[in-house]
Amino acid sequence: MSTSGFIYSADPGMLIGFLGCDHIVRRSVVAGRKMLKASQNRHDWLGAGFYFWQNNYDRALDFATNPPGKTKIVKPAVLGAILSLGNCLDLTDKKWIDLVKLSYESLKQSAASVGSKLPVNKDVKDSKDKVLRELDCAVIENIHKVIRELGEPPFDSVRGIFIEGNSLYDGAGFHEKTHVQICIRNPNCIKGFFLPRKEISWPQ
């Protein structure tokens, strides 16, 4: 689906991702007794897959401490992961941003042709961040559907930058929950899991 022909999309190396979860889940995954389950909600921000915050331990811990909806986490913990983006639908890259826009227009035309409505992104109580992103999820999943139909190589991952939360101060362009989120679709892009460790004093 690339139109430029250049070879510089996504990151060629490894990335660190963090996931907020219960300590029992973390222990089981690190020990190799259990694998994470891919998220498959209609409102997932980047479509179906395994979700991580890129290089953001504190955001993962905040998620585990304050889980959304009716989710309950008894003992919050953070699981570290070593990731490769592979063939990435990287929404920091203009050509893939353009593809997302094209996917939306395609869905919009299809819905109009049959007299149906597109899903919408929704607010939840005490939030203005449209955290239930059914429209965005449908647009991303439509890209994957078209890729399959065309016989193109599938995207292994999706990455996006999200401006979220209140502004840091009056007139600010910075927000308190801005983050980079990674959705891994191909489980083979998860190279390993680890227990995050604290920095030690060096030299001693």
Domain for residue 46, yes or no? yes
Listed in order, strand segments (DSSP E) in the chain are 14-22, 50-54, 76-84, 88-90, 121-122, 132-133, 157-162, 179-184, 190-194
The verdict on residue 200 lying in a domain is no
- Tell whether 164 is covered by a domain: yes
130 located within any domain: yes
Classify residue 60: in a domain, yes or no: yes
Q: Is the pLDDT of residue 2 over 60?
A: no
Flag whether 56 is in a domain. yes
Q: What is the mean pLDDT of the chain?
A: 92
pLDDT in tens, 89-147: 999 999 999 999 999 999 999 999 999 999 999 987 777 788 899 999 999 999 999 99
CB 182 within 8 A of CB 49: no
Residue 203 lies in a domain: no
- The number of domains in the chain is 1
Range of the domain at 188: 15-194
In a domain, 4, yes or no: no
| Alpha-carbon dihedral angle through residues 44, 136, 158, 42, given to the nearest 10 degrees | 30
- The predicted pLDDT at position 13 comes to 81
**Taking the mean position of all CA atoms in its chain, how far away is CA 148?**
21
Q: Are 165 and 175 in contact (CB under 8 A)?
A: yes
